[in-house]
Amino acid sequence: MTTRWQRWTAWLTAEEDALPLALCRVICAGTVALHVGRFVLTGAADAALLHADYGGLSYTHGWLEPVGGATIASLRILCAVCAIAGASAALGLFTRPSLAVTWLSLRAITSLNPSAHGSYDSLLIDTLFVLMLSDCGKALSLDARLRGEGGPAMRWARFLLVFQLGLLYIGSGITKLSASWVPGGSADALWYILQQPTWARFPGLPLWSFPVTQVATTLTWFYEVGGPLLFFAIVLEQIEPRRRWLRRLKERLERVHFVSIYLAFGAAMHVGIELTMEVGPFSLAALALYPAALGPRRIEAIVRWLGSRGAQVPASRSQ
C-alpha cells in the first residue's frame, strides 16, 4: 500500500514540459476575456445581468448583493475585471493571481442570473480552478520571459485536465438517453438539433443530409461515451503497467493510435459544432483542454511538423 502510494505521489509530481498547460491557459483565459468582453460591449450583459429592480432580466443580485446589488455600474465593473484578468492570465502576466481573479469574477457573473448561462461556464470555471493551482505560467508567459519564472511543470495538473475532458464527454454521453440518440433508436437527434432556430446557424437542412446526420449522431454518442477510455489511454501512455492485461491494452491502444484519432475526431466535432451552431464559447472551452490531452510529446511533434512546413514554404518561394 505504502509503495503504491509512493508511486502515485512520484508519478503525479514528476516534472514535464509546461507547454501543454500553458496552451490550456492561453485558450481558456483568452476565451473568457473575449466572451465576457463581447458580452459587456454588445450591451447584452446590461440586459441579462441587471436586476429587475433596475429594469433588467435578472431576479437575483447574486454575489453583488453585499456591494449594493446588480446595478449597471457594478455589473459592468465586474465584467471588465473578468475580461482584463482573463487577458492578463492569457498573456501570463501575474499568472496565478490573474487566474484567481478570472475564476472568481466569472463565478460572480454566473451568480447574477442563473438562467443566463451555458455549460461553457461550468467548463471554464472547472478548468480555471485547476489552472490556478498549477504551474501553467511557467511557459508561454510574460512571467517566464520577463521575471525568469519559467521551467517545467508538475504532471498532476495536466492529469486533472485530461480527467476533466474525459468527464465532460462521458457526462454528456450518459445524459443522451433519448431514443433519438442511443444506438438502436431513430438516430435523428442531430437532424432536429441542427434545425432548432435558437441554436442553428442555418435555417434548414436538405432532406438528402438526413442519413449523414444519423451517422454523425451515432458516432457522436459513441465518441462521448468513450471519454473515460481516452483518459485511461493517456494515463497508460505515461506509465509502465505491471499487469499483463494492462500492458496488452496499452499496446493495442497505441497500435491503433487511439488517442490521436480520438482527439482528431473531437477537434473535427467541435469545429463542426462551431460552423453549424451558435452555442457560445463551448467549443473553445472544450478545445482548451486538448493541449493537456495531447501532452508534451505530441505537441512537440506538431510544433516540429509546423516548423518544417514553415521552412519549406520560403524554400519553395525562393525557387
Which residues between 174 and 233 bind other proteins (CB under 8 A)?
174-181, 185-186, 188-193, 195-200, 203-204, 207, 210, 217
Least distance from other proteins to the Cβ atom of residue 1, Å: 13
**Hey, which residues does 51 pair with through a beta bridge?**
58
Which of 50-58, 142-150, 245-253, 257-265 is the region at the interface with other proteins (rule: CB under 8 A)? 50-58
Which residues between 14 and 33 bind other proteins (CB under 8 A)?
none
CA distance 318 to 175: 55
Q: How far is CA 156 from CA 8, 33, 294, in A?
A: 10, 26, 15
**Residue 43 touching other proteins (CB under 8 A):** yes
26 CB-near residues (< 8 Å, 6+ apart): 90, 92, 140
Least distance from other proteins to the Cβ atom of residue 12, Å: 5
Local structure of 96: helix, strand or coil: helix
The two most distant CA atoms of the chain are separated, in Å, by: 69
Least distance from other proteins to the Cβ atom of residue 254, Å: 24
Least distance from other proteins to the Cβ atom of residue 104, Å: 8
User: What would the DSSP string read from start to end of 153-169?
Assistant: EEHHHHHHHHHHHHHHH
Residue 78 vs 91, nearer CB to other proteins: 78
CA distance 92 to 225: 35
Q: Taking the mean position of all CA atoms in its chain, how far away is CA 271? A: 13
**Residue 80 touching other proteins (CB under 8 A):** no
**Residue 292 touching other proteins (CB under 8 A):** no
Residue 97 vs 114, nearer CB to other proteins: 114
Which residues between 56 and 75 bind other proteins (CB under 8 A)?
56-57, 59
Contact characters 137-176, other proteins, x per CB under 8 A: -----------------x-x--xx--xx--xx-xxx-xxx
Which residues between 230 and 289 bind other proteins (CB under 8 A)?
278-282
288 CB-near residues (< 8 Å, 6+ apart): 24, 27, 28, 31, 124, 127
Q: Which of 94, 103, 258, 290 binds other proteins (CB under 8 A)?
A: 103
Q: Scanning the structure block, which residue is given the C-alpha cell 464559447? A: 281
Which of 54-62, 77-85, 88-96, 255-263 is the region at the interface with other proteins (rule: CB under 8 A)? 54-62
- Measured in residues, the chain has a length of 319
Which residues between 105 and 134 bind other proteins (CB under 8 A)?
107, 113, 115-119, 122, 125-126, 129
Least distance from other proteins to the Cβ atom of residue 90, Å: 20
Q: Which of 108, 103, 94, 101 is nearest to 64 (CA)?
A: 108
